[in-house]
Structures are given as structure tokens and as C-alpha cells.
Structure 1
Amino acid sequence: MRPRDLLIAVGVAAVWGFNFVAIDAGLRHFPPLLFSALRFALAAFPALLFVGRPQVAWKWLITVALVLGVCKFSLLFIGMHAGMPAGLSSLVLQSQAIFTMLFAVLFLRERPRPVQLAGLTVAVGGIAVVATRMTANLTAFLLVVAAAACWGVANVATRKAAPPDTLRFMVWVSALATGPLLMLTLIVDGPSTGLAALRAVNTEAVLALLYIALISTLAGFAGWGHLMRRYGAATVAPFSMLVPFFGIASAAVLLGERVHTVDVIGGALVVGGVLLGLVRARRPALVRVGA
């Protein structure tokens, strides 16, 4: 990998890691569902006017929009709003690799190699270790795990869609997710709650929204898609394992979150297990979307 592209890979991981701090900031001002709806609305418009028509079947666009845009991010935002720490969320969300493998076996009839099963076992052990620290708020932890499971389904659906342009794909996914999310926030939170949040918006809320919509989603996927096209998923995918490092580090520095020994042990097992599954992969790794 060229030095410039190496910097892009690490930079995208850093952007996606810091994303959890931005989410934490935004959730102080917006209800989770409204925040998610605004994120996708801003990521879709006006970009939708410039990216051109979708290059994949509508059924896959709609599937990914509902599973990734609506379910995954709603569960993540609600989990973090319920008390799941930002840094720990960035780590637990990497369990999506576990669910991606499981769903690929179920729906794509892929046969995991022994080393992948070993990595899966190690990663599951890491998630179990992390869970021991969240016994006081197990609901928030399970919501983020459920978000990771939705991400796994979205990865398999994206594999079936095989989008030639990841950025264009994400813009259309964002556009299709916006409507259902707005309806959900109206039903769950009510119009008055959303209007009150919009009236009380401040600079921190706006910056958080701009960051997760424009930098994390659009710029992040533009860079990631460039690397995927040039080097392939098997080479690029391992760089996503840097996301928890940047997520935990930025949460510790900017939010004052304490890094526990349990987090380090569990994180090492999760990341190590996922990387073990990538050793001498004979097939391209599944394209992963949504950080």
C-alpha cells in the first residue's frame, strides 16, 4: 500500500473512531431517533442530486437502508443514550464481524475455515469479558450488541448488492433511511419533543451532526471506497480494527472515560479474534458499511 493510501486508511479509522465522541455529544441535545434521522438526511441531501442513479437493485438498497440505517443506528444511538460509554461502544460494535460470519454461513452458504472459527471463538470470549463490566447496565450493552448484529446482516446484504461505488450506495441508503427514521421519531418521541430539541439546538449539536453526516459518512466512505477499489477488501478490512483504538482513546481524552483493565483484555480478544479470522483469507472479506 502506498504511503498516501496508508495515511488514508489510518485517517478513516481515526475519523470513524472519533465518530463515537461526536455521537455522544449529539445525544446530549437530540433524541436518539431524531439524531439518526437528521444524520442520514444531511448525508443524503444535497449529495443525492450529484451522485447519479443507484447502481444496484432496489431490493438491496431498501434492505440495507432498513437494517443498517434504521435498525443498526437506532439501536446504537439508543444504547449509547441509555448509558453505553462511547469508547466501549466503538469496541463492542466490532462484534459485527462475528455476526457477519454467522449470517454469511446461513444466507450465503459460505463455509468458514477452521482458523475463522477459532477467531470467532476468541472474539466471542472478548465480548463476554466486556459484558462483565456492563452488568449494571446490561440493557444498554445488549442494544449495542444488537446493533452489531444488524450491521452483520447489512454486510451480507451489501455483499449480495455488490455496489461498484460505495459512496453512491451510502448516499442512496441514507436517503431511503431518512423517511422511516422521521416517522419513528414522530411515533416514539412525539412532535413536541423533536421540535423542542430543534429549537434548543446549539453549536455543539450542529458540529456533532455535521461531523457524523459529512465527515464520518460521506468523506469516510469516499476514502474507504477508494481503498477498496484499489486494494480489495482483504487488504483494507483489517484497518477497521483501528477504530476501537481511536474510539477508546478519543473518549478517554475528550469525555474523560476511564479505560478499565477489563476493556483492554476484552478489546484485545475481540480485535485479535477478528484479525485471526483474516489470516490467509482465500476469499475477499465482506464489504463492511456503516461506521
Structure 2
Amino acid sequence: MPPRHVALALLVVLLWGSNFVVIDIGLEELPPFLLLALRFTVVLVPAIFLVPKPDLPWSTILAVGATMSLGQFALLYLGLSLGMPPGLASLVLQVQVIVTIAASALVLGERPGRVQLLGIGIAVVGVAIVALGRSGDVPLIALALVIVSAATWAVGNVITRKAGAASGLGLTVWSAIVVPVPMAALSFAVDGPERIVDALANVSPLGIGSIVYTAVVASLVGYGIWNSLLARHPASSVVPFAMLVPVIGIATSVLVRGERPAPAELVGGAVLLVGIAIANGVAARIADVARGRRRAPDPVTAPITIASVVEDPPAERDVDPAARPGTA
């Protein structure tokens, strides 16, 4: 990729990695389900009037929204609100790559090879190390919710893959319609109207900034740039950058929130990332580069413009189910 596109990929990684801390800040002022409802309301309006509806059946759009948006983020936000550190959450959410590979084998018949199975096994060991070695201030229920969040996201990946559609900005926007009303209703039932009114009346600029950042910067801008890069370069050139998301997530959590991961969490996280890298073919690509093997030239190196970020990427780009990285 040209240097400018590499810089854009690194920018997206920075935006997504920092997103976990931003969510955690918002949860200090707003209940998780209310915060999620507000986030996806901002994702929808006014984007739904500007971004064309994907050429997919409504059943597929709603199913993707129910898994990737509603299920994934409801569980993630709840896990964070119950004490899951944001840096550790950014790491554990990468389990979605492993679950996607396994679910694709069961549903789509895409059998993983021996190397992928090895990577899955290593990643599972990494998760076990994190779970058993977590610090005492990380509740098991919070960790479990984030793992289930990753699994729910993986189901959405498989639905998207089965539909034969790319995970473009249009699908991100239009699938969000399933989130605001159910989350607002659930917040009303769980938190009560008094807490909702009090939270909204006393929300600070930081709380408002959390909503705007997660909706506009992380969801719309982040996915817009990412999918534009995937439209212009092979997924093998773009997707490995996503491995840096938990690195940024942990670093920002340490700097901003004072998070101090336990040694076992760091070791388990490293093992998890190694397993994901192997399962996702990153290790093989690095080995090819080290051996000096020539790769095919990137098919398109056109500059990325504002118009290309707003529009859905071309349909011919790679739709690898693991090509959508761990974000929040």
C-alpha cells in the first residue's frame, strides 16, 4: 500500500483502539443500554438519509443488526459496566476471529486447514490464561459477557458472508435501525424513568463526547476509511493492521484510566494474538515477506476521497469473514 494509505490504516487502528476507553468514560454517566441507544441513534441520523440501502433482503439486514450491532454491543457495554477493564476488553473481543472461523466451518462448510486449527487451539489457550490469571478486580461475569459479545459478532460475520455481501458502510448504517428502540425500552425497564431522566439531565460534555466519538468517529469515519482501503487493496494487506487494535486499546487504557493488567493477562493476551495471527494467515504472510517472495501488485491505488468514504465499497472486494476486525 502507498504510505498515505498505510497512514490511514494506522489512523483507523488508533480510533478503534481508543474507542474502548471512550465507551468506559461514557458509562460513568449513562447506563449501558441508554448509552448504546444514543450511540446508534447518532449513527442513524442523518446518515440513513445520505447512505443508500444495501442491495440485500431486509431479513439479512435485520439479522446483521441484531448480531453485529445489538447483540455484540449490548453485551460489551454491559460487561464494561460490570467491571471489565477497557484495555482487556479490546483484547478479548479478538476472539471473534476464532469463533468466525469455527462458525463458518459449521454453517458454510468452509473447513479450516491444519494451520488454522493450530491457531484456534493456541488462541483458546490464551483465553484460558486470561480467564484464570485475571486480576481480582475483573469479575468473571464481565469477562464472560465480552467473550459472548465476540461470539455474537462472529455470528453476524457468518450471516454477512452467507449473504454474499461486503460489510460496507451502508450495511453498518442500515443495520443499526434495530438498536435504538429495543435498547431504549430495555433501559426503561432496567434503569427506570427516573434514572434515565437524571442521567440525561446531568450528562457532561465528556458524556456527550463519548456518544459522538463512538458513533461518528469510530463507526462512521472508522468503517468508512477501513472499507475504502479494503476496496483498493487485498484484504491480506489491510486486515493485519487490525492486530494493533488491542495494543492501542491497552495502551490508552493504561494512560487514561490507569489500568494495570495482571502479568497473566498480558501473557494470555500475547498467546491469544499469536493464535489469531496464525489462524488468520498473518504469520504466513510475514514469512513470505521475510523470504523475499514477490506478491501480486495491489489492484487499485486510487486516492481515497470524501466521496469514497461515504459511499459503499465496490462489491468485488474481499469478503473474508475475518476481515472485519475487533472494534467497539
After TM superposition, the score normalised by the length of structure 2 is 0.84
**Residue 324 of structure 2: which of 285, 288, 291 is its match?**
288
Question: Post-superposition shift, 1:288?
Answer: 1.9
**Residue 201 of structure 1: which of 188, 200, 203 is its match?**
203
Percent pairwise identity = 39
- Structure 1 residues 165 and 73: alpha-carbon distance in aligned structure 2, compared to 1, 3 A threshold: closer
Question: Post-superposition shift, 1:267?
Answer: 1.4
Separation (CA, whole Å) in 1 of partners of 2:192 and 2:100: 34
- Structure 1 residues 285 and 234: alpha-carbon distance in aligned structure 2, compared to 1, 3 A threshold: farther
Could you say which residue in structure 2 is the equivalent of 1:47?
47
Structure 1 alignment gaps of length 5 or more? none
Separation (CA, whole Å) in 2 of partners of 1:249 and 1:223: 23
Pair 1:98 & 2:98 matched: yes
Separation (CA, whole Å) in 1 of partners of 2:235 and 2:205: 37
Question: Post-superposition shift, 1:85?
Answer: 0.4
Question: Post-superposition shift, 1:135?
Answer: 7.1
Pair 1:62 & 2:97 matched: no
After TM superposition, the score normalised by the length of structure 1 is 0.95
Output the aligned Cα RMSD: 1.7
* Paired letter, 1:5: H
Could you say which residue in structure 2 is the equivalent of 1:121?
121
- Structure 1 residues 59 and 234: alpha-carbon distance in aligned structure 2, compared to 1, 3 A threshold: farther
Pair 1:18 & 2:18 matched: yes
Question: Post-superposition shift, 1:164?
Answer: 4.7
Question: Post-superposition shift, 1:176?
Answer: 2.7
Could you say which residue in structure 2 is the equivalent of 1:246?
248
Question: Post-superposition shift, 1:127?
Answer: 0.7
Question: Post-superposition shift, 1:120?
Answer: 0.3
Could you say which residue in structure 2 is the equivalent of 1:134?
134
Separation (CA, whole Å) in 1 of partners of 2:55 and 2:195: 37
Higher mean alpha-carbon deviation, 140-149 vs 255-264, is at 255-264
* Paired letter, 1:112: P
Question: Post-superposition shift, 1:64?
Answer: 1.1
Separation (CA, whole Å) in 1 of partners of 2:254 and 2:180: 32
Structure 1 residues 12-48: Cα deviation after superposition (integer angstroms, max 9, x where no partner) = 1111100001011000011111111111110110111
Higher mean alpha-carbon deviation, 214-223 vs 268-277, is at 268-277
Aligned length: 290
